[in-house]
Structure 1
């Protein structure tokens, strides 16, 4: 029993000394919101957005990034897998908050996603259904 505990302690200490992947602590928050005020999202939109006729709906994607200073991150907006927009951000500090938005019109219904891309690799993805 003592031998097993010692093995677990040694294994734990080895794992704690391994370097974390670059993406592990990089995204503190990522969410869809109706607006961003004073660099903070005002709410969190759920997984479904209903089409509203008679106007344009605007959806924001907010990302709070950590320890990525000097890198570039892209918000890649897709609709049913087709790229609709790519918005690049140059990260200028250890904590950097960025957001992008998309105007949703009737007829743009389907699965919307935003991929957070760093150095050509998707490090996180979020999606919602825009339904009529």
Structure 2
């Protein structure tokens, strides 16, 4: 259950013109579909999470925020080929303070992250296998 807490860089400083967001790519390295079972975000999705990510494919979503409202939310996918094991990603990217990003898998799945977790506009990928 990796959990990442990363402070913001010293420069540039957040301002009302700053935006906060998470652009995520989930790469399905299982033998079956990843099926969305739950998704929530503080603001309306810029790009909603796909309902199904087929085996060998990737799916993207984007959770926005602004100076007053952090980018925050969660998604949970069920792996059809791995006894319905789940992958859950939860995030909070505030204007001020540390970013909090957590991902969990149930037995049978694993997930590796690639990308930077620092700053206000996070872009990262998770490779889900099992």
**TM-score normalised according to structure 2 size:** 0.42
Pick 1 or 2: higher relative contact order, CA cutoff 8 A, min separation 6.
2
Richer in helix (by share): 1
Larger radius of gyration: 1
